[in-house]
Amino acid sequence: MADKKKIIVVGGGFAGIQLVRALDEKLFDVLLIDKINHHQFQPLFYQVATSQIEPSNISFPLRHIFKQKKNVQIRLAEVQYIHQQNKVITTTIGDFSYDYLVLAMGCTTNFFGNENIKKHSLTLKTTYDAITIRNHILQVFEDVISAPEEAKEALMNIAIVGAGPTGVELAGSFAEMKKNILPKDYPGIDFSRMNIYLVEGSKNTLNSMSSNAQAASKMYLQQMGVQILTEVIVSDYDGNVLSLKNGNSIPTKTVIWSAGVIANLIPGLPKEWFTPGNRLKVNRMNRAQESDSIFAIGDVAYMETPLYPKGHPQLANVAINQAKTLAKNMERMEEGKLTKEYEYKDLGSMATIGTNKAVVDLSFIKIKGVVAWLIWMFLHLMLILSVKNKLIIFINWAWSYITKNTSLRLILTPKREF
């Protein structure tokens, strides 16, 4: 039997994990490289950030995931350069050669070149980001208790920039914390002075979803007390004041930036291979169009198809299905069979705003309210990798639903000198 082909997969997100799982052990040796040692379940980051679930519930060690896969090696490193002519990558722990290289690094936050916003705002792209937000929010209310009167307004204001699913889910969760949890923990604070702002540059919340979902999400958030500012662009943030292009400003110590993403980039490939958003242009088999050995899947891949002439949406479902298709196609290539072109079948989209409040867009029906919320919970539970974690999260959700409370409000930060 011929030597097995060596595949290097960069990134342990939805795309990378699914690809490594699906590749035939008899045909390929796989090296999975990531900067962190675990897979992160991004759809529930906001629940970690708002103290609803523990970060360990949505973080899955890569070595545990692939402990039964004898053909898989894992290295904790950052890829620094791609030498495409030699089929070698340079990493922080050395060089590695490959027969096929699959890029699945996902996206990072796009600050659109504003260094002040990048420096002073919070983001939600990793488990660590979620913990940082949780620590920050809880510390803010510890600070409010002893803060002078003139400092309290900025501490009591939370501004979320970007009203996509992440922004909407965060705003709804903070509104529920304001109503049900924080007044019990901090009885000396007047929470009628707490403001949650959701700032969006377009006309609607959930701009990528249906008009029904947009209207319902806006209605729910307003009922919950969130102040929605649509068609408003942020111009700057200095850590104390969020400046808006319409001339208004919001005094705040808390800005969470969820207004856009840009694909992670590894140097070494020609600039013309990429879109302005750093996505690598690929053909219908996820192969970089000028290469015979480099592929991209998930958020970093830009594939034009008849149904998606401007590329596929950067969603977990796209990443998972691209990975499954590429695994099959790689097997077909090794067996001398014809490969199949990828196309995304849109199964719908959804977002949750709060308890009993969600919106679900399916191809045949648009749902909102309690039924949509139950669908959202069920589907996200099914995507969680381990049975144990599914059970823990379900118990947490059930307990929170019954008591309107959780006991996860821990401030866990490195030791500081006072």
pLDDT for residue 1 is more than 90: no
* Cβ 78 vs Cβ 94: under 8 Å: no
Question: Averaged over 292-306, what is the pLDDT?
Answer: 96
Q: Which domains does the chain have, with CATH numbers?
A: 5-109+261-334 (3.50.50.60), 115-259 (3.50.50.100)
pLDDT class of 416 with cuts at 50, 70, 90: low
> Which residue do the tokens 């997100």 mark?
13
Instruction: Give the confidence band of 354 by pLDDT, cuts at 50, 70, 90.
Output: very high
Can you give the pLDDT at residue 407?
65
Identify the DSSP state of 181: I
Going by C-alpha positions, the residue among 312, 309, 311, 344 that lies closest to residue 325 is 344
Question: Could you report the per-residue pLDDT of 104-113, keeping only the tens digit for each?
Answer: 999 999 999 9
pLDDT reported for residue 122: 98
Closest CA to 302 of 257, 258, 265: 265
Higher pLDDT, 303 or 399: 303
pLDDT of residue 418: 46
C-alpha 171 chain-centroid distance: 16
User: For 203-212, what is the mean pLDDT?
Assistant: 95
Largest Cα–Cα distance of the chain, in whole Å? Answer: 76
Whether the per-residue pLDDT at 328 is higher than 60: the answer is: yes
Rounded percentage of the chain residues whose pLDDT exceeds 70: 98
The reported pLDDT for the residue numbered 411 is 82
pLDDT score of 415: 62
**Cβ atoms 109, 257 nearer than 8 A:** yes
Q: How confident is the model at residue 409, as a pLDDT?
A: 80
pLDDT in tens, 358-383: 999 998 899 999 999 999 999 999 98
| Residue 25 token pair | 């052990």
Listed in sequence order, the DSSP H helices in 110-148 are: 115-120, 127-146
Radius of gyration of the chain (CA): 22
Gap between the Cα atoms of 209 and 367, Å rounded: 12
Q: At 61, is the secondary structure helix, strand, or coil?
A: strand
Task: Report the range of poorest mean pLDDT among 17-21, 35-39, 54-58, 344-348.
Answer: 344-348
- The pLDDT assigned to 302 comes to 97
User: How large is the average pLDDT for residues 198-210?
Assistant: 96
Q: Do 28 and 4 contact (CB within 8 A), yes or no? A: yes
Query: Residue range 293-299: average pLDDT?
Result: 97
Sequence-distant (≥ 6) Cβ neighbours of residue 309 within 8 angstroms = none
Give the pLDDT confidence score for residue 399 in this predicted structure.
86
- State the average pLDDT over residues 314-340: 95
How do residues 38-85 score in pLDDT, each as one tens digit?
999 999 999 999 999 999 999 999 999 999 999 999 999 999 999 999
Mean pLDDT of 269-283: 95
Q: What percent of the chain stands above pLDDT 90?
A: 90
